[in-house]
Structure 1
Amino acid sequence: MYIPKAFHVDDVNELITFIRNHSFGIMVSQTEEEPFATHLPFLLDEQKGENGVLISHLARANPHWQGLQDQKVLVVFQGPHAYISPTWYDEPRTVPTWNYVAVHVYGTFRQIQDKHKVKEWIEKTVNVYEQTMNPPWEAVFDEPFMEGLLNGIVAFEIEVERMEGNWKLNQNHPIERQERVVKKLKSINEPNAQKMAELMEKEIEKRNK
């Protein structure tokens, strides 16, 4: 990913937090004919391996997993994004842009064959996404129904080799311009705009310290 120096984030803890908060990613690999992408939820276990592992599963009917063993893949995690109009700067010689936050993870795909490990990670995944539900749904693996579902998926982990973050928040502009953009974003009743304003405010606070 092309990342200008002003937007580059390499703080591992910040990248990990971002992945946990925006865990629905896109796994991309290259086939003989063309690129292949699958949209999936991921769990990150930073305690496993040298740099951590991403764990997920996909439908066995999805051909993406075939021939992917020990191959390099890219997983893209995207956060808030918003169009920025040059009129917001209230200055001449400015142009439109798009602010966004994203993390790219590069690693090696490995299928999880052990059924006990598959069940363990499915249970962890369910617990993570059900923790805010009332009541939460639980996976009961001794039911024939669940056994059939397990046979229909392919669980895998991606051994992380490197992560890179791109926080494009107008850092290449003077703080006065950034503050004008924040004000405009706050006036837009749209979740991405509101979250982008919040992120930009935090970035401005860091620069003012």
Structure 2
Amino acid sequence: MRQNPSFSMASEEGVKRLIREHPWATIVSRADAAGLVASHYPVLLDEDASGIVLLTHVGRPDEVVHELGRHELMVIVQGPHGYISPGWYDANPAVPTWNFVTAHLYGTPELLSDAENLRVLEGLVDHFEDRMPEPRRMRGTPEDSAYADRIAVGTVGLRIPITRFVAKNKMSQNRPAETVDRIIAELEGDGPYASPALAAEMRRTHEALRAARA
């Protein structure tokens, strides 16, 4: 990913926040047999680990297709993004752009044991079910437990220690404050490119910039 100092996100905590808030990831490998391979799975942070460590699973036979554990792979996590019209800038000539936040994370996955895989699967289910009014658990009843044991054998758990990452947070940091305010207002409006999530991300970014300059 091409970097620009104005948009670089070097903070490990910033990347962790991105993963927590947007856990749907793309896993990319260059396998000897299949060439480039991409799969899509939810990921969680191992909050007890130092650095960035991802926990996830893949469905069989993805572990074979990706040749998991044999080489480094890339995990792409993406946050809010959207089109920014030049009409939101000012009367001067301008071109459109795209605001976004994303991270490319690199590491060699460790394949987990069956027991560890089951714990990761339970953790994934709990993570997303916790906000439901009546959460469903993998082992909520004996029937649930029996079903979980049956489906778990069709998956492979992964722990991915991240050894390096490249992250970018492009939120119009190169625009004057009045232009930024106008873009946020358009994103919060009801036009064809409205995006409240992107507007919120822009607000967070520029509030942090103002605080850093104060």
Q: TM-score, normalised by structure 2?
A: 0.87
1:14 paired to 2:14? yes
- The Cα shift of 1:87 comes to 1.1
Deviation string for 1:68-125 (max 9, x for gaps)?
Answer: 214101111111111011111123121110001112211111211x222122212111
1:60 corresponds to: 60
Residue aligning to 2:195: 193
Instruction: Return the letter of the residue paired with 1:68.
Output: L
State whether residues 182 and 200 of structure 1, in contact with CA within 8 Å, keep that contact through their aligned partners in structure 2: yes
Taking the aligned partners of 2:208 and 2:57, their CA distance within structure 1 comes to: 38
* Partner of residue 78, structure 2: 78
In structure 1, the residue matched to 2:125 is 126
Identity of aligned residues (%): 29
How far, CA to CA, are the matches of 1:109 and 1:135 in structure 2? 34
Residue identity matched to 2:15 = L
Q: How many residues are paired up?
A: 207
Kindly state the Cα deviation for residue 170 of structure 1 after the two structures are TM-superposed: 0.8
Contact 1:42 1:56 in 2 (8 A): yes
1:161 to partner: Cα distance: 0.5
Cα pair 2:82 2:193 within 8 Å, conserved: no
Could you tell me how far 1:149 is from its partner in structure 2?
A: 0.7
Structure 2 CA distance for partners of 1:192 and 1:21, relative to 1, 3 Å: farther
Give 1:43's aligned residue.
44
Which residue type is aligned with residue 154 of structure 1?
V
- Could you say what secondary structure the match of 1:202 adopts? helix
Q: Work out whether residues 23 and 44 of structure 2, in 8 Å CA contact, stay in contact via their aligned partners in 1.
A: yes
Question: What pairs with 1:89-168 in structure 2 (closer than 5 Å)?
Answer: 89-112=89-112, 114-140=113-139, 143-168=145-170
CA shift in 2, pair 1:172/1:55, >3 Å: same
TM-score, structure 1 normalization: 0.89
